[in-house]
Amino acid sequence: MFKNDDDALKLYYSISEVADLFKVSKSLIRFWEKEFEILKPHKNSKGERRFTKNNLEQIQLIYHLVKERGFTLEGAKREIRQQRALLKQKQQMIEKLKRLRNFLKEIRNSM
């Protein structure tokens, strides 16, 4: 995704830089921002969008679903919601497993 190592070190990217990275128009980035609730770039005092690495990952996901896999916008939104739900379930399961591990360690240590 990054053209060189300097790009990978940046904290914020302008909408022009993001459009160049993904080879899409700035208007498409703005459109996706309105359509996808996960995409919320920071805006400076002038109202210029400043995209973070997290925003770039979100755009990468949207780009992959819409441009590469051919999802409709509604289909892509649904897929993102499902992925978020699965991620939440995984996080909950990880927390339960950590608590179980700690409980088993306590039992082992008390023997």
Q: Given a cut of 80, is residue 5 above it in pLDDT?
A: no
In single-letter form, the type of residue at position 95 comes to E
Inter-helix orientation angle 26-35/53-63, to 10°? 90
For domain 5-110, give its CATH number from 1.10.3720.10, 3.40.50.11440, 3.40.1190.20, 1.10.1660.10: 1.10.1660.10
66, HSE (Cβ side, Cα atoms, 13 Å): 20
d(CA 16, CA 2) in angstroms, rounded, equals: 14
Confidence bin at 84 (pLDDT 50/70/90): confident
In single-letter form, the type of residue at position 56 comes to L
| pLDDT score recorded for residue 8 | 63
d(CA 60, CA 40) in angstroms, rounded, equals: 14
Q: Which of 12-21, 34-43, 80-89 has the lowest mean pLDDT?
A: 80-89
- How confident is the model over 16-42, as pLDDT tens digits? 999 999 999 999 999 999 999 999 999
54: its two tokens: 């997290």
Q: Is the pTM of this model over 0.85?
A: no
Q: Given a cut of 80, is residue 1 above it in pLDDT?
A: no
For the chain, the straight-line distance linking the first and the last C-alpha, in angstroms and rounded, comes to 53
Percent of the chain with pLDDT over 90: 76
57: its two tokens: 């990952």
